[in-house]
Amino acid sequence: MPISARHADRIAELAAKRASARRWSAARYVAIAALVAWSVEAIVVGDTDWSRITLAGVMTAAWRFIDFDASILVSLWEPALETVLMATLATLLGMLMAIPVAWLGATNISPLGRGSYLLGRVLMTLSRSVHEVVWGLVFVAAVGLGALAGVLAMAVRSIGFISKTVAEAIEDVNPGPVEAMRAVGANRFQVLMFGIVPQVLPVMIGNCIFEWDVNIRRSTIMGLVGAGGLGLALHRQMASYNYGGIATVIFVILLLIVFGEWFSAWARRKVT
């Protein structure tokens, strides 16, 4: 067969493959769009009482929340402080518990090889897969109502994020200093403390600061399960149908989150 004929056959074959790939791609997009449309119809359109949604009703509900109840502002400073303290203690406790989990879950330093590595990864997954509200319900049942249950719930929830990021940072350390220390006879503890920890410490501190920022948000809803803080104040206003009080608590929560964002960004700049 002449070369030009072989080239023509090859070009035709590539064109047919590209056309087939385009058809399959279009079919996938159509299937995804159909699934999304079905989900919207089943969950939003079919499961909503549209007769209750009117412009007058929406405006009335919005006006209830716009009418702030300034009389409760004085009583909110203590729950706000409790929220910040809960987030801080939970982050510190979570960091302390995350260190051994990260040690187990890093492949290059896991003490017992594959078995301890899998144990560390299971603990990380367990911490991240259970929502903090669920952890809050567990600890409220275990230790009773109050801030301690919220602190423990957020601390356990923080283990997964901190330990996973630190373990991955440990796995990505520069091997040069580690090999040099081993070459001069350093034991495993010395290699860990002076060859690995200095490399991952900025990552760990930065992630802990970020987790503190996240825990500020988490602590604001911990009160919904009886774990104290601004969430408990919000729950009380909701239980009493004080819409102005609900809006006031939400406004204070917003200010607290803005403060957390500012402090977190400032602290990360100082660390890095």
Checking if the pLDDT of 1 tops 60, the result is no
H or E stretch covering 18? helix 3-39
Portion of the chain with pLDDT greater than 90, in percent: 11
pLDDT grade for 96, boundaries at 50, 70 and 90: very high
Phi/psi of residue 109, nearest 5 degrees: -130, 5
Q: Where are the beta strands (DSSP E) in the chain?
A: none
Average pLDDT over residues 184-212: 84
Checking if the pLDDT of 3 tops 60, the result is no
Cα gap 107→109, rounded to integer Å: 6
How far, in Å, are 178, 180, 182 from residue 185 at the CA level? Answer: 11, 9, 5
Contact 231, 223 (CB under 8 A): yes
Average pLDDT, the chain: 82
Checking if the pLDDT of 167 tops 70, the result is yes
Cα gap 164→120, rounded to integer Å: 9
Contact 132, 94 (CB under 8 A): no
- Give the pLDDT of residue 22: 86
**pLDDT tens by residue, 46-87:** 777 777 777 777 777 777 777 777 788 788 888 888 888 888
Cα gap 258→61, rounded to integer Å: 26
Sign of CA dihedral 16, 19, 23, 29: positive
- Give the pLDDT of residue 73: 78
pLDDT grade for 4, boundaries at 50, 70 and 90: low
- Give the pLDDT of residue 256: 83
Average pLDDT over residues 16-40: 87
Burial of 50 (0-12, 13-18, 19+ CB in 10 A): exposed
Checking if the pLDDT of 243 tops 60, the result is yes
pLDDT grade for 272, boundaries at 50, 70 and 90: low
Contact 192, 201 (CB under 8 A): no
- Give the pLDDT of residue 171: 86
Contact 250, 230 (CB under 8 A): no
